[in-house]
Structure 1
Amino acid sequence: MSGKVYIKVYRVQGEVLLAACDEELLGKTFREGELRLDVKERFYKGELVEVDALADFLKEATIANLVGERCVGKAIELGYVDEERVLRIQGVPHAQMAKMLW
């Protein structure tokens, strides 16, 4: 899998939140029925990296918010997201992940 994704990391109260989206989805809004997904620049626009770099960020993240075929696909490939749990809004995959730390 190749292509670029935006990643932004937030560190809040011991949590590491990763926001990531496929490059071409930044700034767009998707709607389907009652669902609405805003891929806001202020939340997602950080560093632009190759999708393979996402692996290191997912390893560190305790929470992740992922949008797009590349981001969600990579998270599924690495075992962080269950394909059955992926939400699609106007065909765009969206997944959230939370690691349970004991």
Structure 2
Amino acid sequence: MSATDSRLLVTERETPEGLLVALCDDDVLGQTFESGEFSLTVTEEFYGGETVDETAAVDSLQRAAVANIVGTRAVDLAIEADIVDEANVLEIGSTVHAQFLRMG
């Protein structure tokens, strides 16, 4: 399955800091990625959410105060929507990860 074939999963949680959004490609769910001393596990508990299309994923990210994004398709979408700067994307093993925190 290529990145364009993968589905997007989104989870939204209200926190004291505002809306927390976790977005990932469905094909990275349940996997652990490692790079040096850094390890990222894409857990069902945190990332396993509702399957959404790109429009709904961007809407969630635009409303988020905090977001965690994992997977090539999800991160590329956030970059294309000007939500994440490509310079802030981390490569972790065979995937990519981005986070943001909106101040304000």
TM-score, scaled relative to structure 1: 0.92
- In the alignment, what sits opposite 1:4? 7
Q: Does 1:31 align with 2:30?
A: no
Residues 1-102 of structure 1 aligned to structure 2 (within 5 Å): 3-101=6-104
Count of aligned pairs: 101
Q: 1:2 to 1:77 in 2, by over 3 A?
A: farther
Q: Are 1:4 and 1:22, in contact at CA under 8 Å, matched by a contact in 2?
A: yes
Moved over 6 A (4+): none
How far apart are the structure 1 equivalents of 2:21 and 2:46? Answer: 10
Q: Are 1:2 and 1:50, in contact at CA under 8 Å, matched by a contact in 2?
A: no
Percent of aligned pairs with the same residue?
A: 41
Q: How many Å apart are 1:32 and its aligned residue?
A: 1.6
How far apart are the structure 1 equivalents of 2:31 and 2:66? Answer: 22
Aligned-CA RMSD value: 1.4
How far apart are the structure 2 equivalents of 1:31 and 1:51? Answer: 27
- What amino acid sits opposite 2:103 in the alignment? M
TM-score, scaled relative to structure 2: 0.90
How far apart are the structure 1 equivalents of 2:17 and 2:43? Answer: 24
Q: How many Å apart are 1:2 and its aligned residue?
A: 6.3
Q: How many Å apart are 1:3 and its aligned residue?
A: 4.1
How far apart are the structure 1 equivalents of 2:39 and 2:12? Answer: 23
